[in-house]
Chain A
Amino acid sequence: MSDQVRIIRFNAVHRLFHLFIMVTFLVQALTGLCRLLYTTAWGKAVTNFLGGYDSVSTIHNRVGVAMLLGFGVHVVYILLKVEWKALRRSLFHPDSLVPRVQDVIHLGQRLRWFVGLGPPPAFDRWTYWEKFDYWAVFWGLPLLGLTGLLLMYPLAVSRLLTGWVLNVMLLLHRAEALLAMLYIFIVHFTIGHFRHGMFPMNECMFSGSVELEEVRREKPLWIVRLEEEGKLREAVVPGPQPWFRVAYFAFGYLALAVGLYLLLILLIYRHYLEWH
């Protein structure tokens, strides 16, 4: 493993953002499900373990505010990263996560590959599903945060808006949260971690680097581009320290386990998932 050549994919800031959203998302999923499934035996047991309904609500609310602040920091980071003088190039560069026409073509190629009409698409640094993952969180988090914030202060909100808006906000909050949980625990986990060659956990979001061989298999155009620009040598980084690997694998397995456990709970208590 360590003799493999590895190239950098996520810098420390990217990894910190992912770590932050990972931890807060799992906390919100757990405490949110406690509130949603409070009428069930599981909901009562876990809620009581966490200190009761009020305590779970407090955790959910404060972590939610933290997520919104984190989102604000992320937006500031993006605004600092964008090259304003060459805006168009900066936005639609292959290193940017902004969707391009190429992504639609890739998706078409993927669908054609499904029915045996062509080869699988060759990707650059970011694939269409990775961009979808990113933008799903980018609009989902503010939506959940905003509706959650309105629900946190019903009296103040009812002075500005009509009270029944909160009914709609609660529905939006719950439905969007269910969608987020289902998407992350099923689609994101499967594509990111459970595919052949990655099972059971893909470490690149923690180590920040990917094996060159894996990139050649998954994202050949990125390597081609790096070679053309002569940046491949710069991109090579040493592998992670053994203690760091042990730490992030333990943490990653724990996070995956929590996610799959919550998915199981969602499936078991599917009849109790009222989103209104």
Chain B
Amino acid sequence: MRSQRLLWGSILRMALGGLGLLLILPALAPAQEEVTTALRRYKEREASTGYYEEYEVKPRRMRPFVGIPGAMRPTFPYSPKAAEIRVRAHLADSHRGVKFYEVRRCDECHVQEAEDVHTTRGNLTCRQCHGGEPIAAVNHYFSPLNPIRRHAYVCAKCHEGAGASFATYVVHEPPPGAPETRKTFPSLFYTNWFMYLLILGTMGFFVVHTAIWVGKELYHVFTERRRKPENE
């Protein structure tokens, strides 16, 4: 009798405890399954924000990438000045050590960069993409313009839905006819020269052709006209 009461008592306590747990714990939901794995959650966040973990982004052995892909690197690759410029593209403050930086304007040094389509047509200022002071170099691993997150942090501010491919559009194009461009942007370089030669060839031939033709025709007309009164 007593054991039976104990049994019922324990069942009641367990039921009450279970009820309490049900009230305390979050409700079971089918969606809960999807966020349980940290890896999946991280991947989703990465895709939507473009945010990457530090260890994924930092260059190996903390050395900035200073090579041109496909180009052989000699033993002493750059002059100290060139090395300084290349290293500058990886600094957290890309203008570190520039004299009188506080009183200078961007376009005093970056002349060409201030004349592209985004500046002249879109009325963008430099800082709208490059961020505030200190302006991080584009290849610095926390820079908003770092290619790994550029599309999400910068491009998508205006171009809603921009992806990594979209962000490969070169905003500050190199001069297409310059010999350096053959290495940095070959398709632009060759397209430029193809079109240049096409225009030069077409216009060169047809302008000369038409000019001689018109000139010769006019010459014949005038000589005919001069001859006519004599015949009459």
Residues of A within 8 A of B175 (CB): 276
Contact yes or no, A179 B199, CB < 8 A: yes
Per the bound structure, the CA–CA distance linking A166 and B188 in Å amounts to 10
Contact A53 B121 (CB under 8 A): yes
> Which of B165, B188, B196, B203 touches A163 (beta carbons < 8 Å)?
B165
Contacting residues, chain B, for A113 (C-beta < 8 A): 216
Tell whether, in the assembled complex, residue A154 and residue B120 are in contact, meaning their CB atoms are under 8 Å apart.
no
| Residues of chain A with a CB closer than 8 A to B166's CB | 154-155, 158, 163
Q: Which of A124-176 contact B (CB under 8 A)?
A: 129, 136, 154-155, 158-159, 161-168, 171-172, 175-176
Q: Which residues of B contact A196 (CB under 8 A)?
A: 214, 217-218, 221
Q: Which residues of B contact A163 (CB under 8 A)?
A: 165-169
A39, B119: Cα distance in complex, Å: 10
B207 beta carbon closer than 8 Å to chain A:
yes
Q: Looking across the interface, which residue of chain A has its beta carbon closest to that of B190? A: A168
Q: Once bound together, how far apart are the Cα atoms of A161 and B168, in whole Å?
A: 10
Majority-rule SS of B interface residues: helix
In the complex, A89 Cα to B218 Cα: how many Å?
38
Taking A154-B169, A179-B199, A276-B173 as contacts, is the C-beta distance between A168 and B188 under 8 angstroms? yes
Interface residue B118 (Cβ < 8 Å from any Cβ of A)? no
**Judging by beta carbons under 8 Å apart, are B162 and A155 in contact?**
yes
Set A53, A158, A168, A195: member contacting B163, Cβ < 8 A? A158
Pick the residue among A53, A164, A179, A191 that contacts B202 (CB under 8 A): A179
> With an 8 A cutoff between CB atoms, is A84 at the interface?
no
**Secondary structure class of chain A's binding surface, majority of residues:** helix
Contacting B203 at CB < 8 Å: which of A155, A171, A179? Answer: A179
- Residues on B with C-beta less than 8 A from A275 are 192, 195
User: When chains A and B are docked, how far (Å) is the Cα of A187 from the Cα of B167?
Assistant: 41
Residues of A within 8 A of B43 (CB): none
Across the interface, which residues of B come within 8 angstroms of A106, CB to CB? Answer: none
- A171 and B192 within 8 A (CB): yes
Q: Is A183 an interface residue (CB 8 A)?
A: yes
Name A167's contact: one of B165, B173, B196, B212 (CB within 8 Å). Answer: B173
CA–CA, A129 to B185, complex, Å? Answer: 36
Q: Are B195 and A186 in contact (CB under 8 A)?
A: no
| Interface residue? B128 (CB, 8 A) | no
Across the A-B interface, the 8 shortest Cβ-Cβ residue pairs: A175-B195, A158-B166, A163-B168, A163-B169, A187-B206, A158-B165, A179-B199, A276-B176
Additional A-B contacts beyond A154-B169, A175-B192, A276-B188 (9; CB < 8 A): A35-B121, A114-B209, A154-B166, A171-B191, A175-B196, A175-B199, A176-B195, A179-B203, A196-B218
